[in-house]
A = this chain, B = another copy of it.
Amino acid sequence: MFRLNKLTDYGIVLMTSIAQHPELQNARDLSAASQLPLPTVSKLLKALSHVGLLVSHRGSKGGYSLSRRPNQISVAEIIDALEGPIGFTECSVAAGSCDLEPSCVVRRNSKVISLALLGALENLTLGDLMQPMELAGLKPRSNIVSSINLISGGVQ
């Protein structure tokens, strides 16, 4: 399936949850709030603070908080932290990973699609996830092959 792993999804849930409650929160609280098992929550928070998206505070009264403001943290970063580089296909991300690279008919275009996907997810932030988003009508295709548009803040 062309989808995020469950753990990555959980990571996004946790990040959003932290964003919505700016005060310091520990793993146990987040586990309770999210309904996820504590060891799993703990593992995810560790990974997220390891790459600098969260700041951890040890000891009694410790916990985690965002390292930046929600609209400065992209979904792309979260995904990258929890399941590695974003891309359409492996070949288009990890050069040299594929034997048929030299002769492959779609390699170049896969790269373009990867960049588009990455760009979209870099533009999407925790700040957006915190509020209801809406889907803008997809433009009719002309020579525009593909277009994704998401609008946040549903006055539309």
List the interface of chain A (C-beta within 8 A of B): 1-4, 6, 8-9, 12-13, 16-17, 20, 34-36, 79, 83-91, 93, 98-100, 103-106, 108-110, 112-113, 115-117, 119-121, 123-125, 128-129, 132-136, 138, 141, 143-153
Identical copies of this chain, number: 2
**Given A116-B150, A135-B112 in contact, is the A90-B34 Cβ separation under 8 Å?**
no
**Which 9 A-B pairs have CB atoms at the shortest separation, nearest pair first?**
A148-B148, A116-B148, A120-B146, A9-B89, A145-B150, A123-B146, A35-B100, A120-B148, A1-B84
> Nearest-CB distance from A69 to chain B (Å)?
15
> Nearest-CB distance from A13 to chain B (Å)?
5
What CA separation (Å) do A99 and B17 show in the bound complex? 17
The interface residues of chain A, by DSSP majority, are classed as mixed
Report whether B150 and A124 are in contact in the complex, using a CB–CB cutoff of 8 Å: no
What are 9 residue pairs bridging A and B, where the CB atoms are less than 8 Å apart in the complex? A1-B83, A4-B88, A112-B133, A115-B135, A116-B148, A123-B138, A123-B141, A123-B145, A146-B150
What CA separation (Å) do A90 and B79 show in the bound complex? 15
Contact of A83 among B2, B90, B116 (CB under 8 A): B2
User: What 5 additional pairs, Cβ within 8 angstroms, besides A8-B89, A146-B149?
Assistant: A1-B86, A112-B135, A128-B145, A143-B153, A144-B151
